[in-house]
Amino acid sequence: MSTQIPKVRKPRKDAFYTREEIKVINAHKEEYKQQTTRELRGHIFKTKVLVDLFNFWLSQGNAPEDEEESTNRIKVGYTIISARKLISFQYAQQLALWVRNNWRPYSTTSETKPNLKINPINVVWDTQRESVEEELREILGVGELDPKDPGYFQQRNAAGKRVLEKMNEQELAELNAIVNERRTHGNPDHIKRE
């Protein structure tokens, strides 16, 4: 006769919270992740996550023992109460660490903007490539440029700098206007594809 062993997952040895506690905590996961600032996430944590977990502990009869007087005085609802009055600082700090490590906010995972480093040399390379390549030929001492040559890109900035030094004030002002426009609106599509 075969005996059926129920397939129940054992909790991890180093787990801080039981499955029931995690279900209580996860009720506010999406709302927490949607917040865009640290203050808003802290507000959700203090007023909802901590409150619900503490109420769950009260209903189970295993509230933190070092805060006995608070359990006698307060029946917690969705009101703003300091985390130190609800749960000892150690429990609140442990839970905050767990939440920060497990719930990454959407604002930091999907909406990060790359830091565009647009400088005049790169704009000169894009807008006046013939002049920069002429300077590159002069610097490298070759008649024909080979893009596979390491010196081609190593000396590109030096060649761009020479072109910048040869510009008059009006050309520099036009170039600076293009640089400022690209810093605010981003690079054109043909550069983004490269």
For residue 103, being part of any structural domain is answered with: yes
Mean pLDDT score of the chain: 76
Q: How confident is the model at residue 187 (pLDDT cuts 50, 70, 90)?
A: confident
Q: How confident is the model at residue 170 (pLDDT cuts 50, 70, 90)?
A: very high
| 1-58 pLDDT tens trace | 456 665 666 666 666 778 888 888 889 889 888 888 888 888 888 888 888 888 888 8
Q: What is the pLDDT of residue 63?
A: 60
Residues 26 and 105 both lie in one domain: yes
Residues 49 and 100 both lie in one domain: yes
Residues 27 and 80 both lie in one domain: yes
Domain of 25? 19-109
Residues 102 and 164 both lie in one domain: no
Residues 125 and 188 both lie in one domain: yes
- Model-level pTM? 0.42
Q: Interior CA angle at 103 toward 32 and 30, to 5°?
A: 35
Split into its structural domains, the chain has a count of: 2
Q: How confident is the model at residue 78 (pLDDT cuts 50, 70, 90)?
A: very low
Residues 169 and 130 both lie in one domain: yes
Bigger pLDDT: 98 vs 68:
98
**Long-range contacts (CB closer than 8 Å, 24 or more residues apart) made by 88-97:** 88/64, 91/64, 92/50, 94/16, 95/25, 95/45, 95/49, 95/50, 95/53, 96/45
Q: Which of 127-131, 147-151, 162-166 has the lowest mean pLDDT?
A: 147-151
Residues 183 and 138 both lie in one domain: yes
Residues 32 and 99 both lie in one domain: yes
Residues 69 and 101 both lie in one domain: yes
Residues 97 and 140 both lie in one domain: no
Q: What is the dihedral of CA 35, 41, 47, 51, to 10 degrees?
A: 110
